[in-house]
Structure 1
Amino acid sequence: MTASTLPQAGQRTTAPGLLPGAAGPGHPAYATAGRAPGRTRPRTDDRPGFWRAPFSGAAFREIGYTLTSLPVAIAGFTFAVTMSMLGAALVLTALGVPVLAAALAGARGLGSAERGRTRGLLGLDVGAPGPVPAPRTPGRWAALTARLGDTAGWKALLFHTVMFPWRVLSFVLSLTFLVTGWTVALLPAYSWVFPHYVGWPGYRLYDYTSGGVHHSFYLSSPFQIAGASALGLVIVFLTPALVRALTNVDRAAVRGLLGK
């Protein structure tokens, strides 16, 4: 290299193929050079795989969501139905408007809490709806009547009404699969208890007498216990997929009725 091509002290150099002053390899913008504007790297799916799902935090958070949804749904449904029916019964009187306005305000508050619960347990961040419509004239009565035009409040009221039966079903299915799967899968660990302390030859599936004939079936042999445990493991590994499908309905409902 000749003296004319050597960089002088304090002189900035550029990477080959870049114009002077362009971002070099050490510059943060160098990594995005040549990339089409407005495009970003696709995000990878951080959900656990099939074999890790039953032991992952994401699966337990989703199960926690479905289990806690039952008391939340009971409270929301009770509030929505009670206030709606009371407001409808009093709509021909001066008390109907304040009751319905309170119902819409309360439904908005419950919807905000539900968005926070969905964000924390399901990882779904849904933006809050727009503000309540401003009254056209000053005064408390105008503010109350303006709230009756709050579309977001009516949608939140609808959410707490229609989601109640779904969340009861989600609670029952999630709890049934969770308890049944682990109870049956761990049968080899506690099957010795039945002959030693209960007096059964094994885990009793049924034992009854009908028409003078005794019918019974116990899981007592190692082969039977192993087969039952394998069935329990199948349920354990299918439970996260079931709960994921159940919570997808909640995700769609939160987006459609509680978001912008």
Structure 2
Amino acid sequence: MTANDQASAPPPVRPAFDAATWKEIAYLLSNLPVALIGFVYTVFMIATAGGLSVTAIGLPLLACGLLGSRQLGKLERVRARALLGVRVDEPTPLPPPYRAGGFFPWLWAGIKDPVGWRTVLYELVRLPWGVLTFSIALTGLFVLWPVLPYVARGLTNVDRAAVRGLLSPSDELERRIAELESGRGVVVDTAAADLRRIERDLHDGAQARLVALAMGLGLAKEKLLEDPEGAAAMVDEAHGEVKLALQELRDLARGIHPAVLTDRGLDAALSSVASRCLVPVKVHVDLAERPAEAIEGISYFVVSELLQNVSKHAGAGARGASVEVWRSGARLLLRVADDGRGGADAAGGSGLAGLAERLRAVDGVFTVHSPEGEGTVVTAELPWRGRA
């Protein structure tokens, strides 16, 4: 039993009327008025939206009615949590129209909302159950007093199952939605950080060098008649600055998306990266075809950053490294290994944690095996998503 299951499990049944038993009795007595409100709302909503379905307002009214059902479900989860100790996660809210892509996508998402429809089903079946449990609990207070704790426990266990079954989020769907929401935030943050890095590199590197170059050429122009030799020396110096600026721009472009990756694929691009590593690197790429461009780019930058880490720790015992890339079904797999001291930490705040977040944003997997003194092996999996 997990910690969540333990926290949500009812207390053991006791014949005494303890606080848990009185809460269960209160829940049963409140079932009828709460179920009556939910049933009336649901029937009215369905009948009204159904009757107006042939008009322009029928479908929007149904979508809004299902949003209201969501709120009823939220109130039921609060009641179950307060009186029965049932802790059910809140489902992912529907996005507003401006985030759903417009009114009609929002309308369609609202009409087919599984959370709203499960709440509708819950409210429809609750009325007869509410009448039954209210009657038994009320009668039990005067007739079934000795066994009322056991009766209340049995009836509320049915309520617990109904809340978990109909008012809890769809585990797989909600998990994927939460992952995508988190991944979207990671992608946005990563893109913003990359833009800041590019702006900083341009400002501090090539831009500053080009400004100095322009000033130098201006001075050389002024000296051209008075001091031809000095002007020639200044032009020669400016020529060197031009070469450095071009090299910095090439390095910056390589950091954004290297031309060799676009032209020749991962094998050539990773071999180029490996040649700049401070330790010897063996590269083996076994791909019969190329994956999607976005997956190819992420793979390149993951391996590049891992090899940069190898170079940083080259003085700590690393004598060599290897890079392997291959395809397994619908997944692209990467493995980067080195024979250094190990002890790499993938905890939050490290560069490895940032790589793991980037991969999770595209439904990838990132694992690190780095025992002390035994080197480091990093394995990454990405969806293949082959080129159209």
Pairwise same-fold verdict (TM > 0.5): yes
- 1:128 equivalenced with 2:37 (yes/no): no
Q: CA deviation at 1:113?
A: 0.7
Look up the SS of the partner of 1:129 in the other structure.
coil
Pair 78,244 (structure 1): closer, same or farther in 2 beyond 3 Å: same
Which runs of no fewer than 5 residues in structure 2 stay unpaired? Answer: 170-388
Corresponding residue of 1:111: 73
Question: 2:129 — aligned with what?
Answer: 166
**C-alpha spacing 1:236/1:114, structure 2 compared with 1 (3 Å):** same
**Matched residue, 2:41:** 79
The partner residue of 2:146 within 211, 215, 237 is 237
* Contact 2:10-2:84 within 8 A present in 1 as well: no
Contact 1:62 1:247 in 2 (8 A): yes
Match of 2:22 in 1: 60
Cα distance in 2, alignment partners of residues 158 and 134 from structure 1: 24
Distance in structure 2 (CA, Å) of the matches to 1:49 and 1:157: 32
- Give the greater-gyration-radius structure (CA): 2
Whole-angstrom CA distance in 1 between matches of 2:85 and 2:163: 12
Residue 114 of structure 1: CA displacement? 0.6
- Name the residue aligned to 2:140: 177
Corresponding letter in the other structure for 2:162: A
Counterpart position of 1:89: 51
Counterparts of 1:60 and 1:247 in 2: how far apart (Å)? 12
Report the CA distance between 1:49 and its aligned residue: 4.8
Contact 1:73-1:167 at 8 Å conserved across structures: yes
- Following superposition, the deviation at residue 119 of structure 1 comes to 0.3
Find the residue that maps to 1:82 and give its secondary structure.
helix
- Say which of 105, 114, 124 aligns to 1:142: 105
SS at match of 2:141: helix
Distance in 2, matches of 1:75 and 1:247, equals: 20
Aligned length: 166
The answer to whether the 8 A contact 1:62-1:122 is kept is: yes
Q: Does 1:50 align with 2:14?
A: yes
* Structure-2 separation of matches of 1:116 and 1:81: 23
Return the offset for 1:140: 2.6
Structure 1 residues 252 and 62: alpha-carbon distance in aligned structure 2, compared to 1, 3 A threshold: same
The one-letter code of the counterpart of 1:146 is: A
- Give the CA deviation at 1:166: 0.5
Cα deviation code 1:192-218 (max 9, x no counterpart): xxxxxxxxxxxxxxxxxxxxxxxxxxx
Change over 3 Å in CA distance of 1:103–1:173 after alignment to 2: same
Trace 1:171-250 onto structure 2 (pairs within 5 A): 171-180=134-143, 235-250=144-159
State the AA in 2 paired with 1:87: A
Identity %: 43
Where 2:88 maps in the other structure, the secondary structure is coil
Q: 1:252 corresponds to which residue? A: 161
For 1:241, the aligned partner's letter is Y
Determine if contact 1:132/1:147 at 8 Å carries over to the other structure.
Answer: yes
Structure 1 residues 56 and 48, CA gap change in structure 2 (3 angstroms): farther
Distance 1:46 1:249, change over 3 A: closer
What one-letter code is carried by the residue in structure 1 that aligns with 2:42? A
Query: What does the per-residue CA deviation read over 1:202-253, in whole Å, with 9 as the maximum and x for residues that have no partner?
Result: xxxxxxxxxxxxxxxxxxxxxxxxxxxxxxxxx3221111111111111111
In the superposition, relative to structure 1, how do residues 49 and 251 fare at CA in structure 2: closer, same or farther (>3 Å)?
closer
1:145 deviation in Å? Answer: 2.5
Corresponding position of 1:184: none
Structure 1 gaps, min length 5: 1-38, 181-234
Under a length normalisation based on structure 1, what TM-score does the superposition of the two structures give? Answer: 0.58
Displacement of 1:144: 2.1
**Could you say what secondary structure the match of 1:179 adopts?**
coil
Which letter maps to 1:103? G
State the TM-score, normalizing by the size of structure 2: 0.40
Pick closer, same or farther for the CA change 1:154–1:176 going to 2, 3 Å: same
**Cα pair 1:73 1:163 within 8 Å, conserved:** yes
**CA RMSD across the alignment:** 2.7
The Cα shift of 1:164 comes to: 1.1
Greater helix fraction, Structure 1 or Structure 2: 2
Deviations 1:28-74 (CA, angstroms, capped at 9, x unpaired): xxxxxxxxxxx98x96988355332xx21111100000111111111
